[in-house]
């Protein structure tokens, strides 16, 4: 049974629907639909999809991360544990397809890099075994295609490139790769690699000053060329220019209680969905369209039950659904983004 609370303006209801007075799903279909209804009264809501996945018994470990290949309608979940499949593949409808654990030690972050030409799954592995301290690329069937880092050996080297607890990565359609390294290890840095894996730039050293990091835990890139990093230990989000690596701005006013553990955009890029692990909370944060990021402003929150512990998340670029990897509840849940049912809309 899903444990799910929703809070609006401080009032919480079990299983109630979260109604946001903003356009959030961001898919062209929803936008068209909502214009036909009424722009001013249009409302968007997130609804927990209790039917996803169809059978939750596939979650036999601790579910650390989730990736969505919206081109092909596939959802990849990575979990940790002994003698279990580590990567589980589901359809967006919630049907289990296949699993693998070949060369996966302790997955931390996962990313689906799908173009019309190629379907790839990238995993950051924080294991201390013989496959750990690496960033690995797999085919969608689980064949190992590329290994970055020195398997089984942590380090800070740049040639060859080494990692210590690489936390997450984001891969652009061009093949450029952004890696946050790492999750409490030797390194606190953001690295941009070209599609042939040479270092384009690197930012960050351990610390709390500008462009320094303390557990950079999640990274995403917007279409205007800004790189957004959840600098968890410093309780802030830092934003960089993707071409130069220059620091563009910092949000440090929204996460005073606890640092952000995950950052992902809604499909229209108007909002960032931010997870806070120990607070078991997702926040919808307004994101300025270009340039200076200004101050951070939380528009709404989705309060999950105590101890659910949302670790990393992914937003489906087509539907706007939020998939959350919950390390406390040991499951992945799907929050559908929908327009309000027509029957609930005011008379036109």
Ligand X SMILES: *[C@@H]1O[C@H](CO)[C@@H](O)[C@H](O)[C@H]1NC(C)=O
The least CB distance from residue 313 to ligand X, in Å, is 14
182 binds ligand X (CB under 6 A): no
257 binds ligand X (CB under 6 A): no
Binding residue (CB under 6 A) for ligand X from 38, 139, 194, 206: 206
13 binds ligand X (CB under 6 A): no
Binding residue (CB under 6 A) for ligand X from 214, 218, 301, 334: 214
Binding residue (CB under 6 A) for ligand X from 83, 159, 174, 343: 83
106 binds ligand X (CB under 6 A): no
User: Which residue, 250 or 278, has its beta carbon nearer to ligand X?
Assistant: 278
User: Which range in 62-70, 202-210, 222-230, 236-244 contacts ligand X by CB under 6 A?
Assistant: 202-210
Q: Under a CB-based contact definition with an 8 Å cutoff, are residues 167 and 215 in contact?
A: yes
User: Which residue, 277 or 287, has its beta carbon nearer to ligand X?
Assistant: 277
258 binds ligand X (CB under 6 A): yes
User: Which residue, 234 or 266, has its beta carbon nearer to ligand X?
Assistant: 234
The mark string for 301-320 relative to ligand X (x by CB under 6 A, - otherwise) is --------------------
101 binds ligand X (CB under 6 A): yes
The mark string for 260-279 relative to ligand X (x by CB under 6 A, - otherwise) is -x---------------xx-
User: Which residue, 254 or 277, has its beta carbon nearer to ligand X?
Assistant: 277
Footprint on this chain of ligand X (rule: CB under 6 A): 83-85, 99, 101, 206-208, 214, 232, 258-259, 261, 277-278
């Amino acid at each position: 049974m899903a444990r799910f609370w929703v809070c609006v303006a401080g009032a919480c209801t079990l299983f109630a629907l979260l109604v946001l007075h903003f356009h959030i799903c961001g898919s062209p279909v929803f936008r068209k639909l909502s214009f036909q209804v009424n722009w001013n009264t249009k409302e968007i809501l997130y609804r927990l999809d209790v039917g996803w996945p169809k059978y939750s018994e596939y979650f036999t470990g601790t579910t650390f991360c989730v990736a969505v290949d919206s081109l092909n309608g596939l959802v990849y979940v990575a979990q940790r544990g002994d003698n279990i499949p580590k990567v589980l593949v589901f359809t967006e409808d919630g049907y289990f397809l296949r699993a693998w654990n070949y060369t996966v030690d302790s997955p931390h972050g996962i990313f689906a890099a799908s173009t019309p030409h190629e379907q790839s799954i990238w995993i950051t592995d924080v294991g201390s075994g013989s496959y750990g301290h690496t960033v690995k690329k797999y085919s969608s069937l689980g064949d190992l295609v590329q290994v970055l880092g020195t398997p089984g050996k942590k380090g800070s080297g740049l040639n060859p490139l080494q990692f210590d607890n690489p936390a997450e990565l984001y891969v652009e359609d061009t093949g450029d790769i952004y890696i946050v390294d790492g999750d409490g290890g030797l390194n606190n840095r953001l690295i941009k690699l070209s599609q042939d894996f040479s270092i384009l730039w690197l930012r960050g050293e351990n610390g709390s000053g500008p462009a320094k990091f303390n557990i950079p835990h999640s990274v995403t890139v917007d279409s205007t060329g800004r790189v957004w990093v959840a600098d968890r230990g410093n309780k802030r989000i830092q934003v960089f220019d993707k071409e130069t690596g220059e620091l563009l701005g910092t949000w440090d006013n929204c996460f005073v209680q606890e640092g952000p553990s995950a950052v992902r955009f809604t499909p229209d890029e108007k909002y960032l969905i931010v997870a806070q692990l120990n607070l078991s909370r997702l926040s919808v944060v307004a994101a300025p369209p270009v340039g200076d990021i200004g101050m951070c402003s939380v528009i709404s929150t989705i309060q999950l039950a105590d101890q659910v512990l949302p670790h990393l998340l992914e937003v489906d670029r087509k539907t706007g659904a939020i998939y959350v990897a919950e390390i406390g509840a040991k499951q992945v849940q799907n929050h559908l983004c929908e327009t309000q049912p027509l029957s609930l809309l005011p008379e036109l």
